[in-house]
Amino acid sequence: MVKSVQTPEPQLLKPGIKAPVQETLLTPRFYTTDFDAVANLDISANETELRAVIEELRADYNRHHFVRDEEFKQSWDHVQGEKRRAFIDFLERSCTSEFSGFLLFKELSRRLQKKNPLLADAFNYLARDEARHAGFLNKSMADFNLSLDLSYLTKHRTYTFFPPEWVIYTVYLSEKIGYWRYILVHRHIEKHPEYQFYPLFRKFESWCQDENRHGDFFKALLRSQPKLWQSWKARLWVRFFLLTVFVTHTITVFERATFYEAIGIHPRQYNNTVIQETNNTSARAFPLILDTSHPDFFWRLEQCFLGTQRLAEIKESKAWGLVKFWRKIPPMFSIFSNMLRLYLIKPIDTESTRGTVR
Ligand SMILES: [Fe+2]
Ligand SMILES: [Fe+2]
């Protein structure tokens, strides 16, 4: 049985400025990479598609979209309690991950300017979009009398190094999962406007098209690098990244079940649909996808969430350090073994059917 976790009261850095949540494996991370290796990527194997996607980014279809219209100009003090806390938490998490994308893309654009102007332009367009997204979310937080100090975040977060291959796999997946997350919330609110307690959700339709285009750019980049989809190693990495993204998504959705319930979304149905759709979409980029129809698939994902919940309970308990350490072993083993069993489920080959319409 999955129980709802209450969202803690936001901690303040100074009045009106929210302290960033404690970094864990699950909080959105900040990345850095080998910029020279990205500059030297040979994209000739898929240059036509890449140039076409970059033209789409250059067109900047959403340049007039991120405007805070009249609807935003009112007090939101009537949104209270768990709904308010869960919504602020959602805004912060989304803002941090949008901002993390901005920083990585901006730095890529800056470092590639001389060596690879085509990719530098592309990253500049991506940074432009993510800055708008992060800014819009931060202004929404300000409507709830809080905001994130993004320059503080830039300086104080730890940066994780990912080689370019990992960046391409993970950013592709996060853009596509971001698309499905936003579009499914938008479609739900469109059908059930009574849950639209704040006008942000109205913006999601065009917003998610940005994420879709970003994903298409990374798909074109990935397909320009045959070693990222042709080799047996690539197949193992793709399975790994699909799985880790889906496990992380499941844990964050169930941890924030109260937010989804506040907007009338069933967390389990939402999680399963986001994962199924992202998995199907990624067949266009990856040589294989996971078998989400396997009877154990979603059950094991949820077992991973239950494991993290038990770990959190142990961490907060008053037991001694060594006792806590021993108590953590069974849930850690459970998470590891469920992930291993998920990894070993036979994947679905997508390369053999490539060229057929999806
Ligand atoms: Fe974004
Ligand atoms: Fe994006």
Around ion ligand 2, residues with a beta carbon closer than 5 Å are 175, 211, 214
pLDDT of residue 3: 54
Share of the chain above pLDDT 90, in %: 85
Give residue 72 CA to ligand 2 midpoint distance, Å.
24
Give residue 299 CA to ligand 1 midpoint distance, Å.
30
Examine the pLDDT at 193 and tell me if it is beyond 70.
yes
Give residue 314 CA to ligand 1 midpoint distance, Å.
35
Give residue 133 CA to ligand 1 midpoint distance, Å.
5
C-alpha 134/C-alpha 126 separation (Å) is 12
Around ion ligand 1, residues with a beta carbon closer than 5 Å are 98, 130, 133
pLDDT of residue 331: 97
* The residue type at 220: A
Which ligand sits closest to the CA of 203? 1
pLDDT of residue 357: 47
Q: What is the mean pLDDT of residues 157-181?
A: 96
Judge contact between 251 and 305, C-beta under 8 A: yes
List of residues 6+ apart from 339 with CB closer than 8 A: 243, 247, 300, 304
Give residue 172 CA to ligand 2 midpoint distance, Å.
9
pLDDT of residue 22: 57
pLDDT of residue 177: 98
pLDDT of residue 292: 98
Q: Which residues pair with 349 in a beta bridge?
A: 288
Average pLDDT of the residues of the chain: 93
Give residue 47 CA to ligand 1 midpoint distance, Å.
24
C-alpha 334/C-alpha 324 separation (Å) is 16
Tokens standing for 252?
């964050």
Which of 241 and 155 is assigned the larger pLDDT? 241
Q: How far is CA 33 from the centre of its chain?
A: 18
Give residue 310 CA to ligand 2 midpoint distance, Å.
33
pLDDT of residue 26: 56
Examine the pLDDT at 42 and tell me if it is beyond 80.
yes
pLDDT of residue 24: 58
Q: What is the mean pLDDT of residues 68-84?
A: 93
Q: Which of 24-38, 66-80, 118-132, 148-162 has the lowest mean pLDDT?
A: 24-38
Give residue 225 CA to ligand 2 midpoint distance, Å.
21
Give residue 329 CA to ligand 1 midpoint distance, Å.
37
Which ligand sits closest to the CA of 173? 2
Give residue 310 CA to ligand 1 midpoint distance, Å.
32
Q: What is the pLDDT of residues 94-145, one digit of tens each?
A: 999 999 999 999 999 999 999 999 999 999 999 999 999 999 999 999 999 9
Which of 13 and 68 is assigned the larger pLDDT? 68
When pLDDT is cut at 50, 70 and 90, the band that residue 273 belongs to is very high
Kindly state the DSSP code that residue 13 receives in the 8-state scheme.
Answer: E
* The residue type at 57: L
pLDDT of residue 358: 46
Judge contact between 180 and 281, C-beta under 8 A: yes
Which ligand sits closest to the CA of 212? 2
Examine the pLDDT at 215 and tell me if it is beyond 80.
yes
When pLDDT is cut at 50, 70 and 90, the band that residue 18 belongs to is confident
pLDDT of residue 121: 98
C-alpha 47/C-alpha 67 separation (Å) is 34
pLDDT of residue 130: 97
pLDDT of residue 57: 98
Q: What is the mean pLDDT of residues 199-209?
A: 95
* The residue type at 136: F
Give residue 281 CA to ligand 1 midpoint distance, Å.
18
Examine the pLDDT at 1 and tell me if it is beyond 70.
no
Examine the pLDDT at 2 and tell me if it is beyond 80.
no
Examine the pLDDT at 319 and tell me if it is beyond 70.
yes
pLDDT of residue 354: 81
Give residue 132 CA to ligand 2 midpoint distance, Å.
10
Pairing state between β 30-32 and 159-161:
parallel
Which ligand sits closest to the CA of 130? 1
Give residue 98 CA to ligand 1 midpoint distance, Å.
5
